[in-house]
Amino acid sequence: MPRVLAGLPLIMPQSPAAALALPLLLLLVVVVVRPPPQTGARPSPGPDYLRRGWLRLLAEGEGCAPCRPEECATPRGCLAGQVHDACGCCWECANLEGQLCDLDPSAHFYGSCGEQLECRLDTGGDLSRGEVPEPLCACRSQRPLCGSDGRTYAQICRLQEAARARPEANLTVAHPGPCESGPQIVSRPYDIWNVTGQDVIFGCEVFAYPMASIEWRKDGLDIQLPGDDPHISVQFRGGPQRFEVTGWLQIQAVRPSDEGTYRCLARNALGQVEAPASLTVLTPDQLNSTGIPQLSSLHLLPEEEAESEEGEDYY
Ligand SMILES: *[C@@H]1O[C@H](CO)[C@@H](O)[C@H](O)[C@H]1NC(C)=O
Ligand SMILES: *[C@@H]1O[C@H](CO)[C@@H](O)[C@H](O)[C@H]1NC(C)=O
Ligand SMILES: *[C@@H]1O[C@H](CO)[C@@H](O)[C@H](O)[C@H]1NC(C)=O
């Protein structure tokens, strides 16, 4: 068998006649059907590296020609750096984090991972649903870094990608660990209205390093909630992302006196931010007299409609 298929032992048929045609056909199916890997906001791996896979297959089928470096094309825009091609002659772009790679170092279909990356079987998928783990380039380090641009990078591979994407910015590692920053509100509380007796919840998600603390206040009250009010409760939890904390303010069985503006305040040693949201409380009578058609019970009211169309009338 040609060396090129060494990385795909599972689909090698026994019959010599089908030996070449079937694997190529299956490869085509695999390649066409496979969804593009998750790369977040980074440039699409695109058909380009699959095309390179095919070029590699064809080139290897013919064996390596004597190396003439002057005939090599110069790879451009390699965000994960450069690696030698299968023949050890020309340079080509290495694969980025999250792109497919060849687990078997002697195979060269998907190509090699770049600097600081290694090819690992991705067991993150749902194997119980029959998903097959895929070999993907993964960063060797998972430690966050602060870049010289003042931005936090999840790990060195992300920082290097950004540095290669904008060489003119001279991006370097400022120090290990996230950049220190005042809090930023990732998800703010939004304005709510409801009928007396219902429970309402405000939420507030904050990113900061060092970690922020969150407190809730109501305009006109000089206390930090909940104070001694038994129908108000406050809860915090770390996350959902690293260096984030999320806080909730719950008011049970709202009364008209609960109306007002509530504020999420987040602070750490470097700063403080706040986000206000208003609560409007309607009595059933007020609700009835609004003339909202077909509104006999709150439970029949679709939530989005209530908020987008009727909500604004009462602020
Ligand atoms: C990057 O470095 C070069 C050479 O040292 C310098 O000319 C250029 O101004 C630097 N760019 C930035 C954004 O600092
Ligand atoms: C009012 O509160 C109830 C219970 O908390 C909730 O199910 C309902 O969606 C809320 N209505 C509006 C208009 O927000
Ligand atoms: C709402 O108004 C209708 C008539 O306009 C009345 O029959 C119904 O009892 C009212 N409901 C409430 C909760 O006041």
Question: Looking at the CA of 198, which ligand is closest?
Answer: 2
**3-state SS of 17-59?**
CCCCHHHHHHHHHHHHHCCCCCCCCCCCCHHHHHHHHHHHHHH
Percent of the chain with pLDDT over 90: 42
Pair 196, 240 in one domain: yes
Q: Is 285 in the pocket of ligand 3 (CB under 6 A)?
A: yes
Cα(144)–Cα(159) distance, rounded to whole angstroms? Answer: 9
The residues pairing with 273 across neighbouring beta strands, listed in sequence order, are 266
Choosing from 200, 233, 283, 310 the residue with most ligand 2 atoms within 8 A of its CB, the one to mutate for a pocket test is 200
Report whether pLDDT(1) > 70. Answer: no
pLDDT in tens, 26-78: 444 444 444 444 444 444 455 566 677 777 666 666 677 788 888 888 888 89
Specify if 50 maps to a domain. Answer: no
Our count of domains for the chain comes to 3
Pair 161, 251 in one domain: no
Choosing from 288, 289, 290, 297 the residue with most ligand 3 atoms within 8 A of its CB, the one to mutate for a pocket test is 288
Q: Residue 91: count other Cβ atoms within 10 Å of its Cβ.
A: 16
Specify if 26 maps to a domain. Answer: no
111: CA distance to ligand 3 center in Å? 71
Specify if 106 maps to a domain. Answer: yes
Specify if 226 maps to a domain. Answer: yes
Specify if 79 maps to a domain. Answer: yes
Pair 209, 116 in one domain: no
Pair 101, 197 in one domain: no
Token readout for 214 is 């969150």
* CA nearest ligand 3 atom 1, residue: 288
Cis check: omega of the bond before 240, within 30 degrees of 0: yes
Q: For residue 211, what are the domain limits?
A: 182-289
pLDDT in tens, 179-228: 998 999 999 999 999 999 999 999 999 999 999 999 999 999 988 999 89
Specify if 309 maps to a domain. Answer: no
Is residue 292 very low, low, confident or very high in pLDDT (cuts 50, 70, 90)?
A: low
152: CA distance to ligand 3 center in Å? 57
* CA nearest ligand 3 atom 10, residue: 288
Pair 210, 280 in one domain: yes
Alpha helices in the chain, H assignment, sequence order: 21-33, 46-61, 156-165, 284-288, 303-305
Pair 88, 172 in one domain: no
Residue 49 contacts residue 95 (beta carbons within 8 Å): yes
The model scores a pTM over 0.85: no
Specify if 253 maps to a domain. Answer: yes
Q: Is 58 in the pocket of ligand 1 (CB under 6 A)?
A: no
The residues pairing with 251 across neighbouring beta strands, listed in sequence order, are 200, 232
For residue 281, the domain's CATH number is 2.60.40.10
Pair 257, 162 in one domain: no
Specify if 280 maps to a domain. Answer: yes
Pair 193, 254 in one domain: yes
E-strand stretches of the chain: 82-84, 91-93, 117-122, 134-139, 145-147, 152-153, 173-176, 181-187, 192-195, 200-209, 213-218, 232-238, 244-251, 260-268, 271-282
Pair 237, 214 in one domain: yes
For residue 135, the domain's CATH number is 4.10.40.20
Question: Looking at the CA of 293, which ligand is closest?
Answer: 3
Token readout for 257 is 């006196």
Pair 205, 108 in one domain: no
285: CA distance to ligand 3 center in Å? 8
The residues pairing with 121 across neighbouring beta strands, listed in sequence order, are 135
Pair 198, 238 in one domain: yes
* CA nearest ligand 3 atom 3, residue: 288
Residue 202 contacts residue 262 (beta carbons within 8 Å): yes
* CA nearest ligand 3 atom 11, residue: 288
User: 3-state class of 193 per DSSP?
Assistant: strand
Pair 113, 93 in one domain: yes
Task: Point out the domain boundary residue: 114, 140, 166.
Answer: 140
